[in-house]
């Protein structure tokens, strides 16, 4: 199964403010910047509990009928989701990927700061698309956190958009067997 990330961040690397809002992303305009095409290519969404709680505040379920798996070890009330297909799941990223694969899922959209960080640390992200919005917010919820080792990335493409947005796409590169912290310079 393939796993991908598609997200927007401030230039200083934050996905959201400390209060979980991401109004600063609108400074790039209301253009999708490839998101619609990306989303059409995934068959399942995996988000964490915090992201689920933020999404619930939107009023309308943003994922349509695409299956969404919310990762949490504590019970969740999913009854408030109207018009969506939502299920709770827990476990390590490798277990999640195995379970989703067994259900026939082929391409998962991984979203939410902690969830992205956990999947990256486990070596389970195949594609990373990050759009940097030209704003510094100083503090917030970071896209990247501590890692158990370096993760080398292969640059696939960079696109520049009106308004100063810069979108870069990467694929993690597997380190040679037995080598930690391998990098491509």
Condensed to tens digits (0 to 9), the pLDDT of residues 22-73 reads 888 876 555 668 899 999 999 999 999 999 998 888 878 889 999 999 999 9
Q: Are 89 and 71 in contact (CB under 8 A)?
A: yes
Residue 134 in tokens: 């030209």
pTM for the structure as a whole: 0.89
pLDDT of 184 > 50? The answer is no
Q: How confident is the model at residue 182 (pLDDT cuts 50, 70, 90)?
A: very low
Q: Are 107 and 132 in contact (CB under 8 A)?
A: no
Beta-strand ranges (E) seen in the chain are 2-10, 14-16, 44-48, 67-71, 85-89, 107-111, 127-133, 141-142, 153-160, 166-172
CATH of region 2-8+34-163, choose from 3.40.430.10, 3.30.70.890, 1.10.357.10, 3.40.50.720: 3.40.430.10
pLDDT tens digits, residue range 158-172?
Answer: 999 888 899 999 999
CA separation for the pair 46, 59 (Å, rounded) = 20
CA separation for the pair 69, 52 (Å, rounded) = 9
Q: Rounded to the nearest 5°, which phi and psi values hold at 50? A: -60, -45
Question: What are the structural domain ranges in the chain?
Answer: 2-8+34-163
Alpha carbon 116 to its chain's center: 5
CA separation for the pair 37, 18 (Å, rounded) = 29
Rg (CA), the chain: 16
Decide which of 55 and 99 is more confident.
99
Angle between helices 49-56 and 113-121 (to 10 degrees): 150
């Amino acid at each position: 199964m393939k796993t991908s990330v598609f997200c927007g961040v401030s230039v200083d690397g934050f996905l959201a403010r400390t209060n979980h809002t991401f109004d600063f992303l609108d400074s790039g305009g209301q253009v999708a910047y490839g998101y619609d095409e990306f989303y059409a290519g995934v068959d399942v969404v995996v988000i964490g509990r915090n992201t689920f709680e933020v999404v619930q505040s939107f009023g309308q379920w943003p994922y349509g009928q695409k299956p969404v798996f919310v990762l949490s070890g504590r019970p969740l009330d999913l009854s408030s989701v109207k018009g969506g297909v939502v299920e709770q799941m827990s476990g390590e990223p490798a277990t999640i990927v195995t379970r989703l694969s067994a259900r026939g899922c082929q391409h998962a959209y991984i979203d939410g700061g902690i969830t992205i960080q956990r999947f990256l640390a486990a070596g389970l992200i195949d594609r990373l698309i990050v759009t940097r919005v030209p704003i510094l917010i100083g503090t917030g919820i970071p896209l990247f956190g501590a890692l158990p080792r370096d993760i080398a990335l292969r640059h696939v493409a960079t696109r520049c958009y009106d308004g100063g947005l810069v979108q870069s796409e990467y694929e993690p590169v597997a380190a040679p067997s037995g080598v930690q912290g391998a990098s491509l310079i």
